[in-house]
């Protein structure tokens, strides 16, 4: 089986509270990405500090941590060719006003602060974020029966 990229996607508290978990998952599945891990959780302040460490010291850091720890999230790992790039396209621009129609944020979000979903912005970020939220044992390795139809390979 060919090794494909993995990326980290998180449905944020506003996405969970608005009942959009299925919508987000459906859009990623319809693209052909494969879900390899998922869990619902409430993020601790410690985990939030690790996840958003690059933003520490910025004016929005405290509100970011407060927001992401305010309710349950759905943490997921998705796999596929160019998974990071494709998932970022599906998610849309950080500012929903600049996100293209047809993207998750373009169709469903209004606020930059509450923009429904987080997606890794690079392979390095994906690897770091996956390790923060999942153990190696939680990552399921399997083959979709539809992969030959998605990728055109046998």
Q: Which of 12, 118, 120, 133 is catalytic?
A: 118
Triad 48, 50, 71: Cα angle to 5°: 10
Whole-angstrom CA distances from 73 to 59, 114, 129 are 23, 13, 14
Is 118 marked active-site?
A: yes
Contact between 126 and 84 (Cβ < 8 Å): yes
Triad 109, 52, 28: Cα angle to 5°: 45
Chain-centroid distance of CA 36 in Å reads: 12
Residues 6+ apart with CB under 8 A from 43: 51, 68, 69, 73
Return the active site residues. 118
């Amino acid at each position: 089986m060919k090794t494909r990229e993995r990326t980290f996607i998180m449905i944020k508290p506003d996405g969970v509270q608005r009942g959009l978990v299925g919508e987000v998952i459906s859009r990623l599945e319809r693209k052909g990405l494969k879900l390899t891990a998922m869990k619902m959780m409430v993020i601790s302040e410690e985990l939030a500090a690790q996840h958003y460490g690059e933003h520490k010291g910025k004016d929005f850091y405290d509100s970011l941590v407060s927001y992401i720890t305010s309710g349950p999230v759905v943490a997921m790992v998705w796999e596929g060719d160019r998974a990071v790039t494709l998932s970022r396209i599906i998610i849309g621009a950080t500012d929903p006003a600049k996100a293209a129609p047809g993207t998750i944020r373009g169709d469903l979000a209004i606020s930059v602060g509450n923009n429904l979903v987080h997606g890794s912005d690079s392979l390095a970020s994906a690897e770091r974020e996956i390790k923060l939220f999942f153990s190696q044992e939680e990552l399921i390795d399997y083959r979709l029966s539809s992969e030959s139809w998605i990728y055109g390979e046998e």
